[in-house]
């Protein structure tokens, strides 16, 4: 089991993600620089949060041209696992590895707080150790987390069960008041049709141990580890 943590200029959650995968999971980890053209044999690529290339033009728009993205595309096409968190989710949509787009928050303000998400699907490598309907408390920190897609794409995501997390209240109710950014249908995380590429706006790596006051996010990483162990 080997993780690759991508470091783009402006990444700021790479060390958090490395800590969870290496120190908490005990996995082997490679740090992948944005100019690398070799994934060094990793099983799961994680594109962490931050402000890749300063989020110039729009979040993730320049990162899709980084040299590291081409081997990531090949890895995904071959069935390899790719996981984008927050800015990483934005990068994956810009790179065409996930559908939709992340727009400015509906209130045009940066959101940094704890929210709740409901686990919608458990037959994915990042949710297989969770329970369907399980509510997780996680932090968000984004100004462009408003997931958008046209109605046909949204219907397609629903039909193929590609919506894996939705914003909800603490009781698991998917209501507009629990939506922190205006995301369509309260979508907080999705996967591709092949269920090997994932993106979510909340930060599971920032709530993966009780020392931080909340370990709800560890289940996401334990799910990945369990999935890789079965391969």
CA–CA dist 149, 15 (Å, integer): 31
How far CA 87 is from CA of 60, 82, 95, 161, 199, in Å, comes to 7, 14, 12, 23, 9
Are 188 and 163 contacting, i.e. CB atoms less than 8 angstroms apart? no
Burial call 163-201: b when 16+ CB within 10 Å, e when fewer: bbbbbbeeeeebeeebbbbbbbebbbbbbbeebbbbbbb
Of the candidates 116, 121, 203, 207, the residue annotated as catalytic is 203
* 86 among known catalytic residues: yes
- Please indicate whether residue 205 is annotated as part of the active site: yes
Check if 34 is active-site: no
Catalytic residue among 13, 34, 44, 86: 86
What is the set of active-site residues? 86, 203, 205
């Amino acid at each position: 089991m080997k993780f690759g943590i991508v470091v783009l200029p402006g990444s700021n959650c790479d060390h958090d993600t490395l800590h969870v995968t290496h120190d908490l999971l005990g996995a082997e980890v490679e740090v992948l620089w944005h100019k690398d053209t070799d994934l060094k044999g990793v099983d799961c690529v994680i594109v962490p949060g931050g402000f890749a290339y300063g989020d110039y033009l729009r979040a993730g728009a320049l990162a899709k041209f980084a040299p590291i993205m081409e081997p990531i595309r090949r890895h995904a096409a071959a069935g390899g696992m790719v996981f984008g968190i927050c800015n990483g989710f934005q990068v994956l949509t810009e790179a065409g590895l996930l559908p939709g787009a992340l727009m400015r928050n509906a209130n045009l303000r940066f959101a940094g707080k704890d929210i709740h998400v409901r686990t919608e699907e458990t037959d994915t490598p990042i949710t297989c150790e969770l329970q369907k309907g399980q509510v997780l408390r996680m932090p968000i920190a984004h100004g462009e987390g408003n997931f958008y897609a046209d109605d046909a794409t949204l219907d397609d995501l629903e039909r193929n069960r590609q919506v894996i997390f939705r914003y909800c209240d603490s009781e698991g109710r998917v209501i507009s008041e629990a939506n922190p950014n205006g995301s369509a249908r309260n979508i907080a995380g999705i996967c591709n049709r092949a269920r090997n590429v994932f993106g979510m706006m909340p930060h599971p790596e920032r709530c993966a141990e009780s020392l931080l006051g909340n370990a709800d996010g560890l289940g996401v990483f334990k799910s990945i580890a369990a999935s890789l162990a079965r391969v």
